[in-house]
Chain A
Amino acid sequence: MKDIYELLNDVDIDANEIDTMEVTDIEKLRVKKALRKAINKNKSWNKKAIIAASLFFALIGSIVFIGVSNPAYATNIPIVGDIFRFLDNGKTGVYDKYKENANEINITKESNGNTVTIKDAIFDGRTLSYTYEIKSNTDLGENPTLDSSSIKIENYYGGLTGSSGTQRVDKNTYVGKDTYTMDEQRKKINFQLKIKSIADLMGGESTQSKQIRGNWKFRISLPALLSTKQAVNKGTGKDGIKVNIDSISKTTATFSINFSQSITRKVKEKWFDVGTDLEIKDNLGNVYKGEGNGGSGNDTTLNCRITFGKLDAKANQLIITPKIHMSNNGGGVKTDKNGKETEIKSIIDKNHPEKGDIILDNIIVDLDK
């Protein structure tokens, strides 16, 4: 479906209908200032919320959400029809086909006067996403999250990477989406959510928002979307960094690229963080934007997965450009198998520049038909 901004592309108007009006430099400055404020307000909503259910690996990858673009729009839709798309907000398009492929759940649980409704859920074989709506008279801030230890997947003991994003849509209503990726392929999934608390974890102490406690319990079973997997095994590399495309899986809603990134010890020594983004185009000129599902591995090799929107059925070739971002910013905690945590920190000096980028040669994949 096209939204109004896309529809407006198609409607032709006379160029001579367009008039202009005098504008002063001060007016320009005022508009710019207002825009800067609006954009930065949105940025502060972009906070990452990473959920670690049972982490055996250092967690890589995260998802950010952009806030509501237009406050007037938000107040006018107390109930959001397609939360997947709403939260993506036109940013990647990964979720465009989710709603129509998702299983409608619509189960509401109430506890202490606050309700949580699981709206839709979808499972592509490895990644589970579900959307929800929270209604509460307590002010929960702009981005409350369900407590992270609430998910349990039946008969699964491996690692989980994931992300969570929630957005206030009116005074008492919040919509959100949680995404988890497992490290094995399944035909169906049974999972349980036992939510004990909801709070805006990112707001910090300064916010007025409160935590609410209760007991909201859901048991959900989902079949996996039909998926096909094409082995690829093609790689490219430069300056001690290699990226290998292992396989592509397709479903009716998305396609995902499974790939590995390996770096030499020397590169590891120089950079604290090395990450790969994939820029994807097809032979018809479509550009796909993706969302990382996280990765797992060791110091030098990482197995990662990025999910994109629906692949154009007419495309028969994908052009994949790996973009490597290196940086010496940040820090984290590494957890080993026994749950022992070691803090890791980055340094910046003459041998450790702040950041760098490398674009690797394209990998061209002929798609199976």
Chain B
Amino acid sequence: MKSNEENYIKRLKNRKEDALEFIVDKYLVLVKSAVYKVLSPLKRDGIIEECINDVFFSVWNHSNKFKGEEVDFKKWIYKIAKFRAIDYYRKEIKNTEVSLQQNISQNNLVEEEIIITEERDGLIVLINSLEPIDRDIFIMKFFLDVKSDDIARKLGMSRSSIDNRIYRGKKKLNKKVNSLKLEVV
């Protein structure tokens, strides 16, 4: 049996390699676009390709965590692509501190407030302890780099209440684990 439009998600979850190839054929256009938007300002050869491979590899390794229908799957892949690309971006600017200022000002995709953390897993533990609404805001803000205005529109809240929640959430997170390296750039 081969993967087709009907069965590829199921086959992916069953770890059939042809399903992954099917997904590359179908979604590379989307993953490439998402990764390109974040990483192209770095002007570094190879990193976009590396990140794209990594996105699909993450999809493969974490396929069992996906829940929902095909339309959700498309969004899920897109979110993974964006979050992985931002992750790459942050690591890169950390490694090349000299050009940090320059990059920040050039890349208007990344907002002024970013949490750089070596302990992403630690951050996830903390995010899990937040209320669902704050959890979504934090993921959007810090993993998907959605602007506060857009989050506000999405959740039907005002910009200031989003900022407030982020402020309070950050305080809570900071209080919980001081050792977690939450740096604000």
Contacts and interface: CB of A to CB of B under 8 A. Distances in A.
Q: Do A and B come from one complex?
A: yes
Given A5-B65, A9-B68, A90-B61, A76 B24 contact: no
Contact of A28 (B25, B34, B132): B25
A67 B27 CA distance: 25
B28 interface: yes
A70 interface: yes
* Contact size range, B: 35 or more
Interface stretch (A32-40, A134-142, A361-369): A32-40
B33 interface: yes
B121 A20 contact: no
A1 B136 CA distance: 15
Given A27-B28, A69-B58, A13 B78 contact: yes
B62 A5 contact: yes
A13 B24 contact: no
B17 interface: yes
A349 interface: no
Determine chain B's interface SS by DSSP, over half rule. Answer: helix
Interface string A1-18: 111111111111111011
Contact of A4 (B60, B124, B146): B124
A145 B33 CA distance: 43
B20 A35 contact: yes
A90 B60 CA distance: 11
A313 interface: no
26 contacts: A2-B124, A4-B139, A7-B135, A8-B143, A9-B67, A9-B76, A10-B136, A11-B79, A11-B136, A12-B154, A15-B75, A18-B33, A19-B37, A20-B29, A21-B33, A27-B32, A31-B56, A32-B21, A35-B24, A35-B57, A35-B60, A39-B20, A69-B60, A70-B54, A77-B121, A81-B121
Interface of B: 17, 20-21, 24-25, 28-30, 32-34, 36-37, 49, 52-54, 56-58, 60-62, 64-68, 71-72, 74-76, 78-80, 83, 91, 118-121, 124-125, 127-128, 132, 135-136, 139-140, 143-144, 146, 154
